[in-house]
Structure 1
Amino acid sequence: MAGALVLKEADYVHSKDFQGYLMSTNFWGPVASWGLPIAAINDMKMSPEIISGPMTFA
Structure 2
Amino acid sequence: MPDYKEMYFQLAAKVANAVDILVEAQQQGEADYSKEERPVILLTDSRSDEKGSDQDDDQL
TM-score greater than 0.5 by the shorter chain:
no
Which structure has the bigger radius of gyration?
2
TM-score by length of 2: 0.36
Pick the structure with more helix per residue: 1
Normalised to the residue count of structure 1, the TM-score between the two structures is 0.37
